Amino acid sequence: MSTLVIVESPTKAKTIRNYLPKGYRVEASMGHVRDLPKSASEIPANVKGEKWAQLGVNVDSDFEPLYLVPKDKKKVVKALKDALKDADELVLATDEDREGESISWHLLQLLKPKVPIKRMVFHEITEDAIKAALSSCRDIDNQLVRAQETRRILDRLVGYTLSPLLWKKIAWGLSAGRVQSVAVKLLVERERDRRAFKQGSYWDLKATLSQAGGPFEAKLTNLGGIRVATGSDFDENTGQIAAGRNVVLLDETQAQSLKQRLETSVWTVSNLDERPSSPKPAPPFTTSTLQQESNRKLRLSARDTMRTAQSLYEKGFITYMRTDSVNLSQQAITAARSCVEQKYGKEYLSPKPRQYDTKSKGAQEAHEAIRPAGSTFRTPQETGLKDRELSLYDLIWKRTVACQMANARQTHITVSIEVDDATFKATGKRIDFPGFFRAYVEGSDDPNAALEDREVILPALKVGDNPSCTELEPIGHETKPPARYTEATLVKTLEKEGIGRPSTYASVIGTIIDRGYVHPLNNSLMPTFTAFAVTELLEQHFPDLVDVQFTARMERTLDEISMGEAEWLPYLKKFYSGDEGLAGQVEARESQIDPAEARTVDLSDLSAKVRIGKYGPYVETIRTGETGEEESVRASIPLDVCPADLNDLQVQVLLKQKTEGPEKLGLHPETGEPIYALIGPYGPYVRLGDKTEENPKPKQVSLPKGVTRESVDLEMAVGLLSLPRLLGIHPETEAKVKASLGRFGPYVVHDQGKDGKDYRSLKSEDDVLQITLERALELLAQPKRGRGRKTAKPLRELGNYPGTEEPINIYDGPYGPYIKYEKVNASLPEGKQFKDITLEEALEIITAKAATTKKTTRKKTATKESTPKKTTAKKATTKKATTKKATAKKTTTKKASTT
């Protein structure tokens, strides 16, 4: 008897194949095999004329979805059908969540098997789990399928109904989605708060004291019996002390005067308080908390976290990574406790096994937390993993092990010290027993928060002691605006508010970044001006769709449908059809929305208007021209300008550059050419010379990080334009050593010609314009730090290309194994395993791929040559925009978001 097992991915198929008995064949569906049409070209001819065809959902016939097999999946489906012909049984082993259940159902509809069917589910890929799953197969859960289908239809209705409206009213290619629009609104609201924020300033004093030779610090907290103001006492809207706060607000003069008065006074310990605490370890990871912690500690995006976790799951290292549950199986608890006892000792075990309760009402994606797979947990060192996979597994391993460890025991110490009419406080922390701190401490979203596992030691003090003051320092502070969301805090907020599903957060955040609603800034998410315009339109005309409570209620209803507590069809009809439905609202309000108004971003405290144009955001003002008539002046806004920070001074600089030309810093001392300071789409830069037909691309250099346009003088500009600087000759290789600026900042490079280039980034204290050869050699002698991307090792080395020494290798890529020769990358033929490929076959494959690539290149070159060369910047821009617009028209339906 032969059994066909279908999973989603080749990696999962490869892993599960090891644990199945003889006679089982495992194939991959490569994800979804059917979906709603993604572009107009996919819509079948027989329904192309129907009004609902663009939606892909027949809203006139009980919201019947139009499912199609995408072109890139037709070979996969054919291969699965062929494999099924030789099978006596079909086992659908897709993931155990709603998405996986849906994939199994679609496979069933397409393959139409005439053999017995089983649905196999498991939350980890280990031998024990697979054997257990084989013995307890079930039928497809149609209720879960219906819930997933309802969610998919609802997302399509929102995305494909609102997105075309945004194209007409704001800009081509924008999208609106059920979850993404609310996520964008949260970011925009925070940016509005930052713009409205008024800064306040205050001063206090920090004392460095000493008792019995032990130094410690204390901070001024009270003066004359009244508390000294801190940042939390200020009103963010006024920059002044909030009404009703009875506090002392010190300025610099008062702080300096107080310092002089207290320096010669006697300091006396007036009170000492010790408070014990016993913090508990955090629960094991869910999808949401894994994304948050990975972003905090590893600086991984939600998308990268989920990709890496998916790979770890499919390779059998962790349990299923889409889950809302913090529950651990008895097997996992036993494994974790065994790790604790072996690695840390019995005293570090919690007295009783810890079990955590899931708080999320809708938690039903899977029934266990994310943890290392198996009945014994491999330590990170035992896995053989590398790079991101190792880092993420290490995080999951530590979190799971720590949850079965004993509570930490610590003592918080607060000491009050009186000096004249002032009170200072010193705080300390003593770790009495580290407990789970030995393994893992949860990260914090507050960068100023003290690490929980770090001691702050105070000397032995008692009431009546007179510590000596060795230093008293006045310190000025300025209140800070509300912090922008990071991916971690956005995920946390979405989950807290009940918006969307944690398993979709990675794709939601990825979508809003890809669509230009968000610009990643360090580790934070900065909403763009386009995000402001879209949010303002939706708030004004479709407020429910960006209302947090409305969206959360919608999510609860979808959960109720999955549990059989609500009917899917009446809900869809109510949401979409009728006068109050989404379709009716869009039709009624479309004529009321003025495009000029929709493209204008409301920044009331700005003298100029901010608008969204074809080529991005720009500022516009009206001025009186030379003829006495009013004229419009526009200037593009650079990509790195934050909506919260745009002010009149910046606007004046942008408009002045547009109308009067760039600011001239002076002439180059050697060439006599003018040097300009400008602001471009990617920030400030300096340029040597004027743009002419003879010199269409004069040399220009971006300013280093932290250097503003206003701070650049002629000397600095000349230095920047001289980069790269030749520092000298390397004493060992006699090769050149240079300093320059690059994409990742300033660097030095040891250029050895054919032997390659060796780079090192400069440290914060180094100046690219001043660094010497000696310092460069010192940096080059240090071990090189990678950026997380290392040279991949080939799965197989097939040999060298005939007549050359260039290798032909097979590598493992994100879409499966591929053959690489020089710059040619070619996927393996369908059904071929990398172990079976010979050198001769590889030569045929790469030759065919190279020919295809050359043909495409010739077509592009021919197109370029047949187009007259543009000589002005304005004409070149027009050409580029036209091409973009033509492409966009072909993919109209594809652009609309369904998330």
Active site residues: 320
Contact partners, residue 663, CB within 8 Å, separation at least 6: 656, 657, 676, 677, 678
DSSP of 807-844, one letter per residue?
EEEEEEETTEEEEEETTEEEEPPTT--GGG--HHHHHH
Helix (H) or strand (E) run with residue 428 in it: strand 422-433
Q: Which amino acid is at 302?
A: A
The four Cα atoms 240, 242, 247, 251 give a dihedral, to 10 degrees, of -10
d(CA 672, CA 109): 75
List phi, psi (to 5°) of 182.
Answer: -70, -40
DSSP state of 352: S
d(CA 820, CA 144): 42
Number of Cβ within a 10 Å radius of residue 211: 19
- Under a CB-based contact definition with an 8 Å cutoff, are residues 486 and 480 in contact? no
d(CA 427, CA 274): 10
Say whether 81 sits in a helix, a strand or coil.
helix
- Under a CB-based contact definition with an 8 Å cutoff, are residues 40 and 54 in contact? yes
Label residues 611-622 b or e (16+ Cβ within 10 Å = b). Answer: bbeeebbbbbbe
Helices within 198-319 (DSSP H only)? 252-262, 287-298, 302-314
- Under a CB-based contact definition with an 8 Å cutoff, are residues 619 and 654 in contact? yes
**In sequence order, what are the beta bridge partners of 684?**
679
DSSP of 715-768, one letter per residue?
HHHHHHHTPSEEEEE-TTT--EEEEEEETTEEEEEEE-GGG-EEEEEPPTT--T
3-state secondary structure string across 464-504: CCCCEEEEEEEEEEECCCCCCCEHHHHHHHHHHHCCCCHHH
**In sequence order, what are the beta bridge partners of 206?**
219, 473
Sign of CA dihedral 55, 61, 62, 68: negative
Helix (H) or strand (E) run with residue 527 in it: strand 524-527
Both tokens assigned to 556: 């609860």
Q: Which residue carries 């032909």 as its tokens?
A: 808
d(CA 673, CA 898): 54
**In sequence order, what are the beta bridge partners of 430?**
411
* Residue 363: Cβ-neighbour burial (10 angstroms; 0-12, 13-18, 19+): middle
d(CA 77, CA 870): 48
Nearest-CA neighbor of 132 among 101, 107, 100, 96?
96
Nearest-CA neighbor of 220 among 245, 240, 191, 247?
247
d(CA 646, CA 657): 16
d(CA 852, CA 888): 25
Q: Which amino acid is at 314?
A: E
d(CA 427, CA 281): 24
Helices within 373-467 (DSSP H only)? 380-383, 387-402
